[in-house]
């Protein structure tokens, strides 16, 4: 492994670490020498990941909608590890509320408020509470955003809006605290094949995304964990305020790409 990618001696906090992208990131960072705090509202799932990793990991209960829960989680992490070098703001709203996040004309205000409370307000509070430790460590923040924060869609109005807000939040934090030695970047996934998307995303819609993706396949959690771990490392010391898109190329091409590609390549 290239020495600059090593995370030895660093402590990483990963929100939403019980599954999907967060779980993959926790395992990768631990494999590169970091101690990892797996923070999730699903404490049982976080504990399972921590047990799989071993002594370098702890599970921490975290509800991003609850400021007290966030502060309590930070205390637990500092008591266990004594420092925070990396914050991966990965957790986002899940469950039934996501299914209700449709088009604006039938969007309930309750849904909008709930999605913003977790994705934006929660990420802001988590970052704020970790900030003194990150400044001390001259650390790195990586926010998981989304292609939906960069492109329009006919549904997930609230979710896409929160992710666009977090892209600007990334720039603001990077600008404000860069002189203190803190870097802040974002990674924007396309469709990622997690247990949830494999179960809930209809096969024909997945096929549509695959057809529009130059690499011909949707991403996997490890495809996001790699750029997150890179941005957390010293190899990325000159990168801050950026949003790295990892979507297999789905956002780079002209409309009708799939039909054109079929005509050219058969």
Residues serving a catalytic function are 159
* Contact by Cβ (8 Å): 154, 101: no
Q: How far apart are CA 19 and CA 234, in angstroms?
A: 26
Q: Which helix (H) or strand (E) holds 120?
A: none
CA torsion sign for 256, 194, 26, 151 is positive
Q: Which helix (H) or strand (E) holds 164?
A: helix 157-177
DSSP state of 44: H
Q: How far apart are CA 215 and CA 192, in angstroms?
A: 13
């Amino acid at each position: 492994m290239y020495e600059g990618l090593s995370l030895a001696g660093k402590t990483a906090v990963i929100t939403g670490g019980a599954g999907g992208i967060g779980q993959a990131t926790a395992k990768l960072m631990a494999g590169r020498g970091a101690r990892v705090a797996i923070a999730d509202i699903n404490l049982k799932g976080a504990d399972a990941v921590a047990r799989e990793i071993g002594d370098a990991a702890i599970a921490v209960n975290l509800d991003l909608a609850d400021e007290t829960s966030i502060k309590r989680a930070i205390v637990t992490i500092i008591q266990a590890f004594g420092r925070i070098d990396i914050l991966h703001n990965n957790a986002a709203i899940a469950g039934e509320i996501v299914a209700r996040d449709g088009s604006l004309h039938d969007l309930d205000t309750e849904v909008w408020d709930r999605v913003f409370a977790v994705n934006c307000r929660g990420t802001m509070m988590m970052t704020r509470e970790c900030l003194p430790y990150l400044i001390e460590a001259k650390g790195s923040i990586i926010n998981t955003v989304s292609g939906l924060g960069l492109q329009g869609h006919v549904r997930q109005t609230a979710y896409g809006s929160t992710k666009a807000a977090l892209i600007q939040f990334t720039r603001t934090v990077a600008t404000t605290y860069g002189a203190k030695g803190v870097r802040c970047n974002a990674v924007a996934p396309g469709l990622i094949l997690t247990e949830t998307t494999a179960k809930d995303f209809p096969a024909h819609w997945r096929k549509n995304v695959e057809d529009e993706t130059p690499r011909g396949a949707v991403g996997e959690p490890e495809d996001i964990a790699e750029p997150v771990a890179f941005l957390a490392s010293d190899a990325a010391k000159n990168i801050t305020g950026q949003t790295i898109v990892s979507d297999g190329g789905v956002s780079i091409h002209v409309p009708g790409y799939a039909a054109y590609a079929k005509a050219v390549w058969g």
